[in-house]
């Protein structure tokens, strides 16, 4: 097993997965998606979300890193179907996102609405990208 190797990856699939991460996020947190209840739960308005340039910058880097790491996992454990990728995406979400985000939400005293919106975003992204990266090798 190679850990985080740059070789033997389908780089176009990695880039597409990162774009999917960003596109889904753009909708998810928009007023047409869950942006209004998310902002309300934060006590803000959708237009008052801080430094957008820095936020989009770090999110773009994070999308690329997450897609790269997920592609490495898909390759290293030998997944080759969308169904296998869905299971991996769900497993990663369950093991590394859901309960970590729930704990953070509870301990920080934030509304469960925030936790549900954020957690479900990562579930959708990991399901789609897991399936994509497993099938598109």
pLDDT tens, 90-132?
A: 999 999 999 999 999 999 999 999 999 999 999 999 999 999 9
Q: Does some domain include residue 49?
A: yes
Could you tell me the two tokens for 98? 């859901």
Q: Does some domain include residue 6?
A: no
Q: Does some domain include residue 76?
A: yes
Q: Does some domain include residue 47?
A: yes
Domain count for the chain: 1
Contact predicate 77/23, CB 8 Å? no
Domain around 43: 11-135
Q: Does some domain include residue 72?
A: yes
pLDDT number for residue 85:
98
Q: Which residue has the tokens 């774009």?
A: 19
pLDDT number for residue 5:
76
Confidence of residue 2 (pLDDT cuts 50, 70, 90): low
Q: Does some domain include residue 131?
A: yes
Size (the chain), residues: 137
Q: Which residue has the tokens 């994070």?
A: 62
DSSP 53-117: HHHHHHHHHHHHHHHHHHHHHHHHTT--SHHHHHHHHHHHIIIIIIHHHHHHHHHTT--HHHHHH
User: Tell me: the pLDDT tens digits for 48-95?
Assistant: 766 777 888 999 999 999 999 999 999 999 999 999 999 999 999 999
């Amino acid at each position: 097993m190679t850990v985080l190797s740059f070789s033997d990856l389908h780089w176009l699939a990695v880039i597409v997965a990162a774009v999917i991460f960003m596109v889904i996020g753009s909708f998810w947190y928009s007023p047409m998606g869950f942006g209004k209840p998310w902002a309300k739960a934060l006590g803000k308005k959708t237009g008052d979300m801080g430094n957008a340039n820095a936020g989009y910058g770090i999110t773009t880097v994070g999308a690329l890193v997450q897609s790269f790491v997920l592609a490495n996992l898909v390759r290293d454990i030998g997944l080759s179907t969308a169904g296998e990728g869905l299971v991996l995406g769900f497993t990663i979400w369950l093991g590394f996102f859901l309960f970590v985000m729930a704990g953070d939400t509870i301990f920080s005293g934030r509304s469960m609405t925030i936790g549900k919106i954020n957690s479900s975003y990562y579930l959708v992204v990991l399901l789609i990208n897991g399936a994509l990266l497993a099938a598109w090798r």
